Amino acid sequence: MTGQKATKELENPEETAEQVGLAALIIQDFRGFLLSDYQFSWDRVFQSRGDTGVFLQYTHARLHSLEETFGCGYLNDFNTACLQEPQSVSILQHLLRFDEVLYRSSQDLQPRHIVSYLLTLSHLAAVAHRTLHVRNSPPEVAGARLHLFRAVRSVLANGMKLLGITPVCRM
């Protein structure tokens, strides 16, 4: 029996690397006030852990993979009553704040509000992904969770695009 590869080949690894690198730079620049000085650090830009553009891209790719794995079978009707876990509720409450964050960012012309929001959303999604399994869950629960993760990925992608970042689907 041959072992399966855990990772898939990227269609265009150079393009993906460029998109991840640009996300790292943009997030680093937009994390603070636009008119403030800060100490630039390549090490901090390309950290694989923590609040970085790499983390946002990784989260988006991971959620995209989840959708691909389970396909559209679960994406028909779903019952929101299945989303009672604290992790689900936290994500739903955070998703509801997206328009408020966009408004605040437009008022003071500071993208840091969007960056902070997206990083928090990614952390919430990471915790939920570890604890709210789709596989081996009852179909109604799996469908609700998949919809939740799809909503997170959609908001994450839209927020990244607003910052000039092209979300990647694979890393």
pLDDT tens sequence across 138-171: 988 988 999 999 999 999 999 999 999 999 999 8
Average pLDDT over residues 5-19: 77
Dist CA 15 CA 23 (whole Å): 12
Range from 41-50, 57-66, 113-122 carrying the lowest mean pLDDT? 41-50
Q: How confident is the model at residue 47 (pLDDT cuts 50, 70, 90)?
A: low
Q: How confident is the model at residue 2 (pLDDT cuts 50, 70, 90)?
A: very low
Average pLDDT over residues 69-98: 87
Q: How confident is the model at residue 28 (pLDDT cuts 50, 70, 90)?
A: confident
Residue 88 Cα distances to 7, 47, 81, 94, 111, angstroms: 28, 28, 11, 10, 26
Q: The tokens of 166 are what?
A: 């092209």
User: Which uninterrupted H or E stretch holds 86?
Assistant: helix 86-95
Range from 104-113, 131-140, 161-170 carrying the lowest mean pLDDT? 131-140
Q: Per-residue pLDDT for 72 more than 70?
A: no
Range from 48-52, 93-97, 113-117 carrying the lowest mean pLDDT? 48-52
Q: Are 156 and 118 in contact (CB under 8 A)?
A: yes
